[in-house]
Homo-oligomer: A and B are copies of this chain.
Amino acid sequence: MRNQVTLKDIAAILGVSASTVSKSLNDSHEISQETKNNVLRVARSLNYVPNDIARSLKSSATKRIGVILPTIESDFFAKIIRAIEDEATKRNYKILISLSNDTIEKEKEAVSILLNGSVDGIIISLSQETQDSQEYSHLKNFSERRLPVVMFDRVCHEIECDKITIDDFEATREATLHLYEKGCKNICFLSTISQTSVGQLRKEGYIRALEELNKESENLIIEIPNYDQFNPILKKYLKEHNIDAIITSDQLSAICTLKIVQENGFNIPNDISVIGFTDGTIPKYTIPSLSIINQNEGQMGKQAFDTLISRIENMNAEVPKEFTHEILKTDFIKRQSSL
């Protein structure tokens, strides 16, 4: 930048060469202790900070990773970022965040920009539009460029890379069976994310559970395209159907469900049980407190970062590692909203 102190400046002051300064700062054994001390002293006094950009250009390693997310205004993704950032800081990496706002256009843009050498690797969760349209061409560039990528949560099979998800299918399947055992006979699945892989899997898990219970013909599925229509759709559904449990596709829709169900005169959990996804402070403080499927975002974010880094560091290995798909365990946290 403007007033950057450079190696040259330090070199000039001490009357040595830039390379001597460079080596001193990197504590090379080639340099005498005395020179090292001098360099260090001057560097500190000038508040010298090495220029990362120049280093990156030289080494073609940026020590930065790109993170592309559909949104950040969600407990789930916020926790993921926090976990990635935590881990990145420990390992001396910086994170560059791009938000796709669930559009394929912004996702493509983010991808193409990050492809320009700004980052050593990418962690991505696909936009709704991408998953809906199944257009993955923009993601193919990564492998061509040999830029490591890790997908998490919203992944696709069409692209070969490391992947991390929870077992979305199992999570709702188990939740459904659990509710059934507790006595719920008319279990409903409510989704605001039907266009995502995650939403699909959660729906399928629910349907599988019904099949196992020989109730597949009785599936009760509510799909809500956006939050403006949440209230009218759910309200109508409650009127027209006999329901005693609702599994929702995510945290926010569970919170909305809690309110609407009660507004319509039902007691939770006596009349209707409600289960959501993603833990946090808020599920503890809803009325009633919310039973949820904990996705262990901390572990997921850490895992995504670690996988990416080991891929980056193995980039030049003779034998490329096989791509992995890590499926993390969820756990169920029972609170007041479910039987």
A interface residues, Cβ below 8 angstroms from B: 1-4, 47, 49-54, 56-57, 60, 62, 64, 71-75, 78-79, 81-82, 85-86, 89, 94-99, 101, 106, 109, 112-113, 115-118, 120, 141, 144-147, 227, 252, 255-256, 258-259, 262, 280-282, 285-287, 315
CA–CA, A116 to B252, complex, Å?
40
Contact in complex: B282, A255 (CB < 8 Å): yes
Contact in complex: A262, B287 (CB < 8 Å): yes
User: Which B residues are CB-close (under 8 A) to A50?
Assistant: 116
Sorted from nearest, which 10 A-B pairs have the closest CB atoms? A49-B116, A51-B117, A2-B146, A259-B285, A52-B116, A73-B78, A287-B287, A256-B285, A53-B56, A53-B57
Contact in complex: B145, A118 (CB < 8 Å): no
Contact sample, A vs B, 5 pairs, CB 8 Å cutoff: A2-B145, A52-B116, A53-B62, A53-B118, A64-B96
User: Which B residues are CB-close (under 8 A) to A141?
Assistant: 47
Give the contacting residue for A73; candidates B75, B117, B118, B258; CB below 8 A: B75
Contact in complex: B78, A82 (CB < 8 Å): no
User: Which B residues are CB-close (under 8 A) to A47?
Assistant: 141, 144-145
User: Which B residues are CB-close (under 8 A) to A94?
Assistant: 96, 98, 113, 118
Contact in complex: A72, B62 (CB < 8 Å): no
Number of copies: 2
Tell me, rounded to whole Å, the shortest Cβ–Cβ distance linking A210 to chain B. 28
Tell me, rounded to whole Å, the shortest Cβ–Cβ distance linking A285 to chain B. 5
Contact in complex: A52, B118 (CB < 8 Å): yes
User: Which B residues are CB-close (under 8 A) to A286?
Assistant: 259, 286-287
Contact in complex: B72, A82 (CB < 8 Å): yes
Contact in complex: A82, B99 (CB < 8 Å): yes
Contact in complex: A49, B112 (CB < 8 Å): yes
CA–CA, A262 to B287, complex, Å?
9
Q: Which of A74, A101, A112, A255 has the most CB of B within 10 A?
A: A255
User: Which B residues are CB-close (under 8 A) to A57?
Assistant: 51, 53-54, 57
User: Which B residues are CB-close (under 8 A) to A73?
Assistant: 75, 78-79, 82, 280
Contact in complex: B227, A256 (CB < 8 Å): no
CA–CA, A60 to B120, complex, Å?
21
Contact in complex: B85, A99 (CB < 8 Å): yes
Tell me, rounded to whole Å, the shortest Cβ–Cβ distance linking A22 to chain B. 15
CA–CA, A38 to B114, complex, Å?
26
User: Which B residues are CB-close (under 8 A) to A85?
Assistant: 72, 97-99
CA–CA, A96 to B89, complex, Å?
13
CA–CA, A113 to B280, complex, Å?
31
Known: A57-B57, A98-B94, A141-B47. A106 touches B120 (CB 8 A): no
Tell me, rounded to whole Å, the shortest Cβ–Cβ distance linking A87 to chain B. 12
Q: Which of A1, A3, A49, A57 has the most CB of B within 10 A?
A: A1
Who on chain B is nearest to A85 by CB?
B99
Who on chain B is nearest to A255 by CB?
B285
User: Which B residues are CB-close (under 8 A) to A81?
Assistant: 72, 97
Give the contacting residue for A281; candidates B3, B120, B256; CB below 8 A: B256
CA–CA, A4 to B120, complex, Å?
12
User: Which B residues are CB-close (under 8 A) to A96?
Assistant: 64, 94-97
